[in-house]
Amino acid sequence: MARPSAERKILHADCDCFYAAVEMRDNPALAERPLAIGGSPERRGVIATCNYPARAYGIHSAMPTARALRLCPQLVLLPGDFAKYREVSQQIQTIFHELTPLVEPLSLDEAYLDVTGVERFSGSATWMARWLKAECLARTGITLSVGAAPSKFLAKIASDWEKPDGLTVIAPERVEAFLRDLPVKKLHGVGPATGARLEALGITTCEELRELPLARLLEEFGKFGRRLFELARGIDERPVKVERERKSISVETTFARDLPDLASCREALAPLCERLEERLARYGRPPLAGLVVKVRFDDFSLTTLESRGLAPGLDAYARLLEQAWERGRRPVRLLGVGARLLPEAERRQLALRL
């Protein structure tokens, strides 16, 4: 079985509580106060991110704002200024590209960097990580946590190991020892459901996971079983992708009051379709592979319905909405509409046929 290449040097750089960090930079008086960026509780907003004083109260991203305020009544809640965040993110991305052209952004506040061929800093990934942290803080006032490892999944784990303002290096010779006691819940793709299934099998660490043969993992987890088999052994050959292909375009709305029935959902559909049409136009109306409707009911259950071959339009989305609503037949708190984009390879084939 192959082992992670000793030649690869991957960094995962992650800004600490990014949106909140930008606000604290611009208003230092907020630094010691519980602070969250999120939507209004009256509009059923959720927390986008929060600082570490807020996390001490149990607040976290994706938490309903109303609950966050119950946990911490003195919480300072700010709406997001995403134009400002994008500007700071671009400054940070510029620093990344000064080190290597092989940068794969994951969001505004994190990215993978392949520094395998970088000769600066005597080729030391540790020194490169220290330089990134120092330059980012000096130029933008934002702290980075950085992980360095021979693979993407280990680098991402490492960047989270000593947050905030962390730097963790997993050298090739340390991979085996690091993985031995690593909780399986830290593995990429292991969410609560998979974690619970593994725990039911008596597996909580990678060392225990290695004891299960591949055939048993495939039986229990299907194709993901092979991924578990590989990750438990530190195997992750995914490259850092400089260009990420967009797979879909969508819009959605969480309503201040639940939509009580299908008729009211239909009324809310037209503005969503107009917004989607505007977004598709901004992207040059790319070829579509299918349409998607997303419905979250008042009990927080979620259903999505996708159909291939339909032309985008209000009538098509209305038909999908009706089918999706029938799955729950109850008040609706969120509606979304989207379009799956035709993969780039299929677009090229279509162009050749034309």
Residue 281 φ then ψ, to 5°: -65, -40
- CB–CB of 105/11 below 8 Å? no
Q: Which two tokens stand for residue 81?
A: 């200024």
Radius of gyration of the chain measured on its C-alpha atoms? 23
H/E segment holding residue 112 = strand 110-114
**Alpha carbons within 13 A on the beta-carbon side of 228:** 32
CA geometry: angle 8, 11, 15, nearest 5 deg:
170
- From CA 30, how far away is CA 20, in angstroms rounded? 9
d(CA 295, CA 307): 15
The catalytic residue positions are: 110
Q: Is 48 helix (H, G, I), strand (E, B) or coil?
A: strand
Structure-derived torsion over alpha carbons of residues 163, 28, 72, 254, reported in degrees to the nearest 10: -80
Distance between CA atoms of 34 and 50, rounded to whole angstroms? Answer: 8
Secondary structure class of 284 (helix, strand, coil): coil
Cα separation of 108 and 76, whole Å?
23
Q: How many CB atoms lie within 10 A of CB 48?
A: 20
Helix spans in the chain (H): 18-26, 52-55, 65-71, 82-99, 125-140, 152-159, 175-180, 192-200, 206-209, 214-221, 223-231, 262-282, 314-326, 344-353
Q: In 3-state terms, what secondary structure has residue 255? A: strand
d(CA 228, CA 217): 8
The number of residues in the chain equals: 354
